Amino acid sequence: MNNYQSENLEVNLYKLNTYPIILIFLNIIFHFVPFERKSLAPDDYSLLTYNRNSENYFLDFFERPIQLYYFDLQYWLIGDSAFFGFLILILTSSILIVTVYYLFLLLINENKLSFVFSIFYLVFYSKLAIYNNLINAHIILVSSFYIMSLIFFIKYSDDKKVFLLLISLFLYFISIFFYEIGIFLPLILTFFYKKVPLKTLSIYFI
C-alpha cells in the first residue's frame, strides 16, 4: 500500500467514526433539547408497571414475548423515573440513527451522501411524537434490530460468509418475537434483492 492509499484509508476511517457521532449529536439537538419530562406519561407508566405475572412469556404471550421481557428489564432498571426514561429514549434513538447511516453507507457506498440521507431520516416530522414517549422506546430499538439484520444479510450476500447469515437470522428472529413490524422483511428481500439465490432466502421462512 503506497502513502496515498494509506492517507485515503485514514481519511475514510476518520469519516466513518465521525459521521455517526455527529448524527447522535444532531439527534439530541433536534429531538431532546430543550424538551424535559417531569414525569412519565400515563401510557408509559401503566405499560411499565402492569403486572404480567408469568413465568414464561414465550408460552403465555407467544406473539411478543421478548417485548415483555424487555419491559420487565426496563422497569427493573429505571422504575418510574422520567429522567432515566428520557436517557433510554436518547440511547435507543441514537442507536437507530447510527444503524440507518450504516445501512445507507452499505447501499450507496458514499460517506457524505449517506450522512445527508441520514439527516433527512432524522428530521422527518413523525419522529417528534415517537421519540418523546417512553412507550415507544422498544419500537425504536427493534427497528434498529431489523435494520442490523438487513445490513448483515446484505453483507452476507456480498461475502458469502455463513456467520454473517447466522447473525442476520438471529437478529431477525429476535425482532419478530419483540415486535412484528418487520415480519415481511424476507419477502421484500426475495422480490428486491435478486443477487441472492431464492433458495438462500427461503431459510428465513423456516
SS (H, E, C) 76-135: HHHCCCHHHHHHHHHHHHHHHHHHHHHHHHHHHCCHHHHHHHHHHHHCCCCHHHHHCCHH
Report pLDDT digits (tens) over 17-46: 689 999 999 998 888 876 666 555 555 555
Other C-beta atoms closer than 10 Å to the C-beta of 191 total: 8
Report pLDDT digits (tens) over 78-119: 877 778 888 888 999 999 999 999 999 888 888 889 999 999
Grade residue 61 by pLDDT with cuts at 50, 70 and 90.
low
Is the pLDDT score of 199 beyond 60? no
User: Where is pLDDT greater, at 147 or 15?
Assistant: 147
Is the pLDDT score of 132 beyond 80? no
Phi, psi torsion values for 62, nearest 5 degrees = -65, -25
Give the per-residue pLDDT at 186.
74
Range list of H helices, the chain: 3-32, 42-49, 57-60, 65-78, 82-108, 111-122, 127-131, 137-159, 162-176, 185-192, 198-201
pTM: 0.75
Placement of cell 423515573 in the chain: 81
What's the full length of the chain, in residues? 206
Return d(Cα 23, Cα 102) in angstroms, integer: 11
Give the per-residue pLDDT at 21.
92
CA angle 55, 78, 46 (to 5 degrees): 65
User: How much of the chain exceeds pLDDT 70, in percent?
Assistant: 66
